[in-house]
Every structure is written in structure tokens, then in C-alpha cells.
Amino acid sequence: MKKILILLCFSLALFSKSASAQQSDSSKQQMKFYYYPSSNIYYDPTAQDYWYYDESNSNWISVKQLPSSVTLVRSPRYLVYLSDTNIWKDNAEHLKKFKVKKNGEIKTKPAKS
């Protein structure tokens, strides 16, 4: 009987640890962004912010409204996901994946399985 009780306690401890790990994983939800490769701009529909690279400051900037000096080509756009708001961290990958040809067309590379 003592062995069964110890086994039951051990099983309960493992279950509670597994459940708490699953809760912490689910709290890291993926955030959705739209990426406009022709302009190299991101849009966060939840926060309603645009992210663009400011050449004069050599930094990525988040704004509610793009300055008149920045042109947004709305088509095509692609959904990209990240677990935090710094979507620009993956910009090198996005530039390769959604490569803009000289004629303005977008050539996407297939996703790796």
C-alpha cells in the first residue's frame, strides 16, 4: 500500500510539472505581422504599428503613421509570426525568403519542411 501511495504522489508531481510547463509555453503566443517586401516594412495589426528601417539613424523605428518620406507598396504582403514585437530581428531571413527581383516581382522561397 505504501508503494502505491508513493507511486501516486510521484505521478501527481509529474503531472503538475507537465501542466505548468504547457501553460508557460502557451503564454508565448505567436504575434502576427504583415510584411511588405517591396518596401521592407512590417505592420502589427494588434498594436497598429508600422516598423521600418530608418537609413539616417541606422535603426528600426516603430510608428503609428509612416512618414511621407517612406513609401509603402501594399502588394504583395505576407503574414509572418514572431513571439515578441521585435519582428525586424528576422529581417535578413525575410529579405531572403521574399526576395524582390529587379523588375519588382517577388520571388518567394518555399518553406523548409
Q: Does residue 113 belong to any structural domain of this protein?
A: no
Whether 89 is covered by a domain: the verdict is yes
Domain count, the chain: 1
For residue 48, tell me if it sits in a domain. Answer: yes
Whether 39 is in a domain gets the answer yes
Q: Domain of residue 57: give its range.
A: 31-108
Q: Is residue 18 assigned to a domain?
A: no
d(CA 54, CA 19): 44
Give the strands of the sheet with 78-82, arranged side by side: 59-63, 49-54, 41-44, 31-36, 78-82
Whether the CB-CB separation of 92 and 86 falls below 8 Å is answered with no
**Above pLDDT 90, what percent of the chain?**
45
Express each pLDDT in 50-104 by its tens digit: 999 999 989 999 999 999 999 999 888 999 998 888 888 999 999 999 887 665 5
Residue 45 lies in a domain: yes
